[in-house]
Amino acid sequence: MPRPTEKTITFTIDGREVEAIEGAMLVDAARGGDIEIPVFCYEPKLGAPVGACRMCLVEIEGIPKLQTACSTPVRDGMVVNTGTERVKGAQQSVVEFLLVNHPLDCPVCDKGGECPLQDISFGWGRGNSRFIEPKRHFVKPLALSPLIAIDRERCILCYRGVRFSQEIAEDHQLVLLERGASTFVATFDGHPYVAPFSGNIVELCPVGALTSRAYRFRARPWDIEGSGSICSLCPAQCNVTFTVRDERVLRVLSRDHDGVDDGWLCDKGRFAYQATHSDERLTTPLVRDGEQLRPATWERALAVAAGISRHAGSAAALIGGETSNEEALLLSRLMRDGLDSYDIDSRSGGVLPLELLRSLANPALQATVPDLEFANTVLLLDADPVDDAPILDLRIRKGARRREMQVLVASGRPTALDARAAEAVRHAPGSGANIACALDAALSGDTQRSATLARDGGADPEAVVRLANLLREAGEDIVIVWGERLTDGPSGAAAAQALLRIADQLGLASRDGAGLLELSRGTNGRGLREVGALPNSAPGFGEPQREGRGWNEIATAAAAGQVTALWLLGSDPARDASNGEPWAKALASAGLVIAHASTLSPELGAHANVVFPAEAGAEREGTVTSPDGRIQRLRPAIGHGGQVMPTAAVIAAIADAVGFEPGFSTGSKATEAVAEAVGFYAGLTSDEIGGRGIRWQERDAASALPAGTAGETAAPPAAAASPNGSLRLGTYRSIWASPEVEISPALKFLSRSATVEISPEDAERIGIGNGQRVELGSNGSQLEAVAQLRSDVPEGSIFIESGLTSVGLSATEGELVEVTAK
Amino acid sequence: MSAILFDRIDEPGLATIDVYTRRGGYSALKKALAMPREAIIEELKVSGLRGRGGAGFSMGTKASFIPGAEIDKYLVCNADESEPGTFKDRELMQKKPHQLIEGMIISAYAVGANRSFIYIRGEYVLQAEMLERAIAEAKQAGHLGENIHGSGFSLDLVLQRGAGAYICGEETGLLDSLEGKRGNPRLKPPFPANEGLYKGPTLINNVETLATVPPIIEMGGAEYAKLGVENSAGTKLVSVSGNVQRPGNYEIELGISSREIIFGLAGGPEAGRSVKLWFPGGSSSPVLTADDLDLPYDFDSLAKAGSMLGSGAIIVVDDSVRVVDVALKLASFYRHESCGKCTPCREGTNWTVNMLERVQSGEATPMDLDIIASVQEQIIGNCLCVLGDAMAMPVGSLVAKFRPEFEAHIEAARERNGLGASQPAVEQPVLTI
Amino acid sequence: MSEVTRFTHGSRIPGWDQSTDPSKPAAAIPDPATTTVPEELRAAIEAEIAKYPERRSALIPALHHAQEHHGWCSPEAIEQVACVMRLTPGEVAAVVTFYDMFESKPVGKNTIYVCTNISCSLNGGDRILAAMRDAAGDDPDFNIRGFECLGACDMAPMASINGEYVGPLTDEDCNQVIAQLTAGETPLPAKQLSLRPCADAAGRTGGDGQ
Ligand SMILES: Cc1cc2nc3c(=O)[nH]c(=O)nc-3n(C[C@H](O)[C@H](O)[C@H](O)COP(=O)(O)O)c2cc1C
Ligand code: SF4
Ligand code: FES
């Protein structure tokens, strides 16, 4: 959909002629004339203005009544007055009315000093008070949720928080009850407001009514400093400001970036900073001492790690998703050039041919994050943004709500966007490749092949045809958001080829607002591939010196003694993989296991020889690359806690100990090294990246990306297992499945126990009820879980959450599992 | 007196389609369906019919604002009738439901709306039942549904009961309520004629307005315009209540003297009592006094006297009643009914009630009367909808017109409470820097 | 200034003065797999939904049905409506508490709204409310509320008794209303708008007697 065009007009405000964009609201246009019109309820991020608070009344010549500047679009020649007696009178009245029921507890209010109500009362109020009646009193503060406190006395009913819940997050949990002067903000029947994005209401509240329980009474505005960086907890890479006091992060706020987060944060990004200062975080190196890992000096830990030189030729490295471009490049250099080891991987799903990686990275095929809002249609292919990259869920909702963008879904597990979807196709868990191939066939008119593929994938063939038709008629700008899991396993190449053909058939490469957007598993999944943290690619998708083993082969090789040392850079495979069992074996067999971690899983505890304490988000430095290719800077907001050292410095120290000179370690030098290694990042510097990041596709160097081909046609994906009484296992990694959530005091309540989502039909057949304990069994392994009946789960499939330390079922996506009542 | 709306109003069985049709009902519909749409709107404009719900906007002009495009358009009948003192729509719906339905079909046809709704206040249980029955009869007779009488025009009519909220009489609050939400008024513009129900163009009219449409089509707009006076054409239902001997609905020709209505028709206050004040157009209208009884009852004359015709509900208050009690009653009503969306109304009605309570109990001084008056001024014109004004105008007028009585009341109450005489009102000290 | 009482504001919504309960789950749209809705209530709501171009429009009619079924808009009733309407219970509760006719606490089965607005109170409406309350005493079967103008000032002072408009009322009538309702009889048939000539001195009839 074409972005709206902007026309400049001239209007007069307080006697001055000012230029503005036609249709801009007067409050915004007035700023062009350096005039501030006070507002409370107006917040353009929340959608259409509601005109509720009446703070922004102004006089417009030719209109008898005062008008709300927040909702009046400027027109050419308009004459506006904001300083007349009448306007001043109205402003003073509104301030006076707002203070009628607002307690004067500013001295003990968290908002004090950064409070719009204080500022506006000071700037536009009457300066005296005529109100002598008792104010309305509420018991306060009350917990709105474990994260948010509500002080109803302070609420000025500006509607912002409630509008956020209704119109942005669309969780519809925060509402207004009662009416008139009795109105108050609440949830249903004492249920807490718990939702992926609830914390945004704290930042939206213009008074101290909604406050963060984690931040309450921790600081006054003059004690703190803000420090801009990037949230490194998921691929969305939202821009944040860390609020810092005495080298501690006390709060995380959004640093509004239209190209990334649109000004919102998820609750993980907002509250997981607490993991930084949690007692449960590792802050000293650990070295194995018999059965036990014990705290050790850096010398000792580095010496143990330097023992990797004895494993030259048979070491392997798994690079975790949060790793920065610089760290990944450094470690892969050391592995390849210093240790003659080529088994390096950052993708847990299997190896994709280099040709396909290059083709998928084609700049013409890349959709941007804002495209999710302006497209005619967004198709989710085996992806659920709310778990994979939460903030993008809001972006898609925005497009759907404000521009009637069409949403289409094809996934194994029901997604959060299903309710918005014109068509939601369900397939068997792990069979996304079949659906991509079926869709490709349907688009090319081969309905028969499409039907076979769809059926093999456990999907309704007609639904796939409908999906294809909707796509064909979708208008020109189509964005396909696909989850990394789509290209997992043996059918990964077939899925990638299908994606490329679908893109070709829909002409996505020829449209600016159309394209593909991959949601990778890790924060920096895209950057890690681009810097060559892959077994079959050099940095910049160049030909590798030598191909190494991929993720799954490394496990097998380690169990077989062919790989003797494992370097786990921010990766905990036994925990992260949907099937952790082979990894438990691999870890047990390896002679040396080096890990970087902030918490210890049981497997690491049992098998690591040395553990380096990982850096927390606010301590990190380096660059990461977002799903749409935006290279962004992580900038340290605080010094390192405990004895933590920069990860890059640790790798460099080990390199030094084994006698390898990588040529760089940390700082802007490291970023330059990345730019030098990756052809299409050429010339990039920290300065150019700056505070807003830059998409590499938009720079001249982008042409250095080696052209890809579709490669040899891969074999079609295999058919999904037929349930036959058992059920197909699906897994998903929820937004809350992360070590940071588990150790942040505020977020702990969200860390989950094992549940299994099951359709009511299957539950009835097996004879289990909602909330009942069940046992899942596969290949002799067992898992106990609580059944959760969901009517939108397709019959024949069940879903469990991966990434939980407690999950240890030995079965992969799509395999059959026996479910029995306990 | 010409009876147009109340013609044969008490004839038994008039609420049924048989009797209504026998008395000439639905013939206007047949006539209208044979007319071009623009011609109907033209007749309505010529008739001079002004909205009977409160604002008094020309019905024909409003209908002409509905865009001609072939999109989903809606007609909504406002049967919320919650303005204190108003009960005319109730009697119309109860006794002549078919006249309303016929008026709705003609109006919907005129603006090209294919879906129509009656939003009736939830308390009107009987009237809702009678309307449901009438709608079913009209469907049965082919006046509603697909391809009405072969005209190619189709119309669906749904009755929705509200659930007790005055603000749902405000047209945009009504629309939100009809969409299943809290009845908060919407920001205007956009006006409902452009963006109303389900964001489609929507014509909203009061029951009485719509029920007047069939007679206008029947007699012709020009003929109707001959009734009444300039700028106030036609007849009007007036609900008279309060301290009068014959409360009830009366159909009058606009422009007759108010005294004729209050005394001639409604019998005036009981013997020995006199009119102290009266609301000419529902409780939202600024009050008038005995001096104003000879005003002609029409839109312009009442406006010129500083009040308004509003919904046509005359509430008479006699000299036995304390004006403080009237003011507090009013303010309490509007506080209860404020939707709470905008600041001046939500806080202003609440503050006014608090102050009037102190005035009533004697814990006030004349300075409070100044603050009350100033708060009313701060409300008027600054709210999102006019509910705030609907309290501020009458309360402001009471304080302005009966200030001595308020003051005397305060002094007497202070005395009773042993608080002593009040301090004289003092100017706020002003600090000059 | 007399004594200032704290928390007099209160609310008719239970729980307004308590923190949320962290052991409860977030109140999302109830899943039909885990929410049981009485069959006749579901059918009634679905019939309402079918009347409108957008399903949400059926919410207020749906709540009337639910209130009739459950006696009040209990959390359970709200969840059931939310389940059929595909809304969150929060959205439904927001609507319930906006409207005067929806009860957010359990109430007696006989609902009497006594008009205490201006025209009725000029004719003794406030006194009638007190008399009605006196007559009912603490009988839990009665839900007696002072109400805003009911649109029947021609029969002032009046009340709506289980939906029937009755008036003009005297103090003595109040005792009779309570007695008749307790005995399961029709209250004051002679004064019902739908059954008899109303207060109009001109002697016009109210309903048409059908
Ligand atoms: C607070 C408020 C309450 C209103 N209540 C009613 C009402 O109960 N019935 C009604 O017909 N109009 C009511 N109105 C007027 C409507 O907003 C609208 O002007 C009217 O329905 C238009 O119909 P008409 O042009 O036929 O009068 C009210 C307006 C306000 C501001
Ligand atoms: S004036 Fe009152 S009723 Fe109207 S929008 Fe404002 S608060 Fe609501
Ligand atoms: S900012 Fe304009 S009304 Fe609130």
List, for residues B129-175, the tens digit of each pLDDT value: 999 999 999 999 999 999 999 999 999 999 999 999 999 999 999 99
The Å distance, Cα A160 to ligand 1 centre, comes to 29
Place A533 in a pLDDT band, splitting at 50, 70 and 90: very high
Rg from Cα positions in chain A: 28
Residues A652 and A298: their CA atoms lie apart, in Å, by: 13
Per-residue pLDDT reduced to its tens digit, B281-323: 999 999 999 999 999 999 999 999 999 999 999 999 999 999 9
Place A811 in a pLDDT band, splitting at 50, 70 and 90: confident
Region of A451 on the Ramachandran plot (φ > 0 left; ψ -120 to 50 alpha; else beta): alpha
DSSP A647: H
pLDDT reported for residue A754: 82
Residues B124, C151: C-beta atoms closer than 8 Å? yes
- Asked if pLDDT for residue A804 goes beyond 80, the answer is no
- Asked if pLDDT for residue C138 goes beyond 50, the answer is yes
CA angle A321, A325, A326 (to 5 degrees): 125
- Asked if pLDDT for residue A632 goes beyond 80, the answer is yes
Q: Which residues contact A248 (CB under 8 A, 6 or more apart)?
A: A276, A277, A638
- Picking from B184, B341, B360, B426 by the largest number of A CB atoms within 10 A of its own CB, the best residue to mutate is B341
| Closest residue by Cα to residue A384 from A462, A303, A293, A481 | A481
Touching check for B15 and chain C: CB below 8 Å? yes
Place A807 in a pLDDT band, splitting at 50, 70 and 90: low
pLDDT reported for residue A278: 94
**Contacts of residue B71 in chain C, CB cutoff 8 Å?**
none
User: Residue B252: helix, strand or coil by DSSP?
Assistant: strand
- Asked if pLDDT for residue A321 goes beyond 90, the answer is yes
Query: Is the Cβ atom of B331 under 6 angstroms away from ligand 2?
Result: no
DSSP A311: G
- Asked if pLDDT for residue A665 goes beyond 60, the answer is yes
Residues B131 and B134: their CA atoms lie apart, in Å, by: 5
Structure-block tokens of residue C71: 């006696």
Q: Which residues contact A594 (CB under 8 A, 6 or more apart)?
A: A305, A308, A565, A566, A567, A568, A608, A609, A610, A612
- Asked if pLDDT for residue C196 goes beyond 70, the answer is no
User: Residue A185: helix, strand or coil by DSSP?
Assistant: strand
Position in ligand 2 atom list of the atom nearest CA B389: 1
CA-based nearest distance C9→chain A, Å: 6
Touching check for A747 and chain C: CB below 8 Å? no
Structure-block tokens of residue A159: 């509607």
pLDDT reported for residue A813: 86
Mean pLDDT over A624-646 rounds to 97
The Å distance, Cα B81 to ligand 1 centre, comes to 8
- Asked if pLDDT for residue A575 goes beyond 80, the answer is no
Residues C193 and C185: their CA atoms lie apart, in Å, by: 17
Report the residue among B206, B213, B339, B346 best suited for mutation to probe ligand 1: largest number of ligand atoms under 8 A from its CB. B206
More confident residue, A368 or A2: A368
Strands A622-625 and A610-613, how do they pair? unpaired
What is the fold of B228-318?
Ubiquitin-like (UB roll) (3.10.20)
For the packed helices B323-337 and B403-416, what is the interaxial angle rounded to 10 degrees?
A: 100
Per-residue pLDDT reduced to its tens digit, A482-506: 999 999 999 999 999 999 999 999 9
**Contacts of residue C121 in chain B, CB cutoff 8 Å?**
329
CB B207 within 8 A of CB B128: no
Rounded to whole angstroms, the maximal C-alpha distance in chain A is: 87
**Contacts of residue A130 in chain B, CB cutoff 8 Å?**
371
Q: Which residues contact B21 (CB under 8 A, 6 or more apart)?
A: B98, B141
Per-residue pLDDT reduced to its tens digit, A755-796: 999 999 999 999 999 999 999 988 778 888 999 999 999 999
Chains that touch A (3 or more CB pairs under 8 A): B, C
- Asked if pLDDT for residue C199 goes beyond 80, the answer is no
φ, ψ for residue A60, nearest 5 deg: -120, 125
What is the fold of A9-98?
Ubiquitin-like (UB roll) (3.10.20)
Side-chain half-sphere CA neighbours of A68 within 13 A: 24
CB A243 within 8 A of CB A252: yes
DSSP A334: I
Residues A100, B347: C-beta atoms closer than 8 Å? yes
Would you tell me which residues 81-100 of chain B have a C-beta closer than 8 angstroms to some C-beta of chain C? 81-87, 89-90, 94-95
pLDDT block averages, 10 residues each, chain B of length 433: 86 95 97 97 98 96 95 98 97 97 98 98 97 97 97 98 98 98 96 97 98 98 96 97 97 97 97 97 97 98 97 97 97 97 97 95 91 97 97 98 96 84 57 51
- Picking from B144, B181, B311 by the largest number of C CB atoms within 10 A of its own CB, the best residue to mutate is B181
**Contacts of residue B122 in chain C, CB cutoff 8 Å?**
64, 99, 101
Residues B375 and B362: their CA atoms lie apart, in Å, by: 20
Nearest to C4 among A134, A172, A178 (CB): A134
**Contacts of residue A184 in chain C, CB cutoff 8 Å?**
11, 16
Give domain A286-348+525-704's CATH number out of 3.40.50.740, 3.40.50.300, 3.30.565.10, 3.40.50.2000.
3.40.50.740
pLDDT reported for residue A666: 85
Strands C110-115 and C142-147, how do they pair? parallel
- Asked if pLDDT for residue A619 goes beyond 50, the answer is yes
CB A296 within 8 A of CB A285: yes
φ, ψ for residue A467, nearest 5 deg: -60, -45
Number of H helices, E strands in chain B: 18, 11
CATH class of A131-275: alpha beta
Query: Is the Cβ atom of B379 under 6 angstroms away from ligand 2?
Result: no
Nearest to A181 among B340, B371, B384 (CB): B340
pLDDT reported for residue C9: 62
User: Residue A345: helix, strand or coil by DSSP?
Assistant: strand
Nearest to C18 among A134, A142, A749 (CB): A142
Structure-block tokens of residue A411: 């996934």
CA-based nearest distance A351→chain C, Å: 39
Judged by its nearest atom, the ligand closest to the C-alpha of residue B171 is 1
- Asked if pLDDT for residue A731 goes beyond 70, the answer is yes
Query: Is the Cβ atom of A381 under 6 angstroms away from ligand 3?
Result: no
- Asked if pLDDT for residue A2 goes beyond 70, the answer is no
pLDDT reported for residue A129: 82
pLDDT reported for residue C197: 46
| Closest residue by Cα to residue C11 from A159, B333, A136, A187 | A136
Position in ligand 1 atom list of the atom nearest CA B210: 26
Residues A10 and A410: their CA atoms lie apart, in Å, by: 48
| Closest residue by Cα to residue A805 from A568, A616, A606, A574 | A574
CA-based nearest distance C59→chain A, Å: 15
Mean pLDDT over C131-150 rounds to 97
Per-residue pLDDT reduced to its tens digit, A669-682: 999 999 999 999 99
Taking residue C5's Cβ as centre, other Cβ atoms within 10 Å add up to 9
Mean pLDDT over A33-48 rounds to 95
Our CA dihedral for B17, B20, B26, B28, rounded to 10 degrees, sits at -170
Nearest to B187 among A71, A96, A176 (CB): A71
Would you tell me which residues 504-563 of chain A have a C-beta closer than 8 angstroms to some C-beta of chain C? none
Task: Work out the percent of chain B whose per-residue pLDDT is above 90.
Answer: 93
Structure-block tokens of residue B33: 């369906």
pLDDT reported for residue C205: 42
pLDDT reported for residue A577: 66
Query: Is the Cβ atom of B390 under 6 angstroms away from ligand 2?
Result: no
Look at ligand 1, atom 10, and give the residue with the nearest C-alpha: B53
CB A484 within 8 A of CB A519: yes
Mean pLDDT over C17-32 rounds to 94
Task: Work out the percent of chain A whose per-residue pLDDT is above 70.
Answer: 99
Mean pLDDT over A522-528 rounds to 97
User: Residue A480: helix, strand or coil by DSSP?
Assistant: strand
Strands B115-120 and B74-79, how do they pair? parallel
- Asked if pLDDT for residue A470 goes beyond 60, the answer is yes
Q: Which ranges of A667-793 would DSSP assign to H, the alpha helix?
A: 667-677, 686-689, 739-743, 760-766
CATH of domain B323-416: 1.20.1440.230
Residues B21 and C123: their CA atoms lie apart, in Å, by: 40
DSSP A275: G
Q: What CATH superfamily classification does A355-519 receive? A: Dimethylsulfoxide Reductase, domain 2 (3.40.228.10)
- Location of each CATH 1.20.1440.230 domain in chain B: 323-416
- Strand-pairing partners, residue A318, are A345, A568
pLDDT reported for residue C198: 39
| Closest residue by Cα to residue A537 from A378, A682, A328, A387 | A328
Q: Which ranges of B164-262 would DSSP assign to H, the alpha helix?
A: 171-178, 207-211, 213-219, 221-225, 258-259
Task: Give the dihedral sign, CA B380/B381/B385/B386.
Answer: positive
Taking residue A21's Cβ as centre, other Cβ atoms within 10 Å add up to 15
| Closest residue by Cα to residue A478 from A435, A422, A429, A530 | A422
Per-residue pLDDT reduced to its tens digit, C45-66: 999 999 999 999 999 999 999 9
Residues C5, A134: C-beta atoms closer than 8 Å? yes
The Å distance, Cα B342 to ligand 3 centre, comes to 9
Residues A282 and A294: their CA atoms lie apart, in Å, by: 11
Our CA dihedral for A803, A805, A809, A811, rounded to 10 degrees, sits at 30
Mean pLDDT over A82-107 rounds to 94
Nearest to A181 among B182, B350, B383 (CB): B350
Query: Is the Cβ atom of B380 under 6 angstroms away from ligand 2?
Result: no
| Residue of chain A minimizing CA distance to C14 | A189
CA-based nearest distance B218→chain C, Å: 26
End-to-end distance of chain B based on CA atoms, in angstroms?
Answer: 69
Residues C79 and C83: their CA atoms lie apart, in Å, by: 6
Nearest to A66 among B340, B348, B381 (CB): B381
Burial B245-283 (b: 16+ CB within 10 A, else e): ebbbbbbbbbbbbbbbbbbebbbbbeeebebbbbbbbbb
CB C168 within 8 A of CB C123: yes
Would you tell me which residues 198-227 of chain B have a C-beta closer than 8 angstroms to some C-beta of chain C? 198
The Å distance, Cα A52 to ligand 2 centre, comes to 9
φ, ψ for residue C64, nearest 5 deg: -60, -45
Q: Which ranges of A432-550 would DSSP assign to H, the alpha helix?
A: 432-443, 447-456, 461-472, 492-505, 525-530
Residues A4 and A370: their CA atoms lie apart, in Å, by: 13
Indicate the residue type of A560: A
CATH of domain A727-821: 2.40.40.20
Residues A50, B383: C-beta atoms closer than 8 Å? no
User: Residue A189: helix, strand or coil by DSSP?
Assistant: helix
What is the fold of B17-225?
Rossmann fold (3.40.50)
Region of B199 on the Ramachandran plot (φ > 0 left; ψ -120 to 50 alpha; else beta): left
Per-residue pLDDT reduced to its tens digit, A396-418: 999 999 999 999 999 999 999 99
Sequence ranges of the domains in chain A: 9-98, 131-275, 286-348+525-704, 355-519, 727-821
Q: Specify burial of residue B420 (Cβ count, 10 A radius: 0-12, 13-18, 19+).
A: exposed
pLDDT reported for residue C8: 58
Q: Which residues contact B223 (CB under 8 A, 6 or more apart)?
A: none
- Location of each CATH 3.40.50.11540 domain in chain B: 17-225
In order of their start, the domains of chain C are 39-98 (1.10.10.1590), 110-198 (3.40.30.10)
pLDDT reported for residue A3: 76
Rounded to whole angstroms, the maximal C-alpha distance in chain C is: 64
Report the mean per-residue pLDDT for chain A.
94
Containing A256, the helix (H) or strand (E) segment is none
Residue located via tokens 């068997």: A428
Rounded to whole angstroms, the maximal C-alpha distance in chain B is: 82
Residues B187, A157: C-beta atoms closer than 8 Å? no
Per-residue pLDDT reduced to its tens digit, C94-129: 999 999 999 999 999 999 999 999 999 999 999 999
CB B216 within 8 A of CB B44: yes
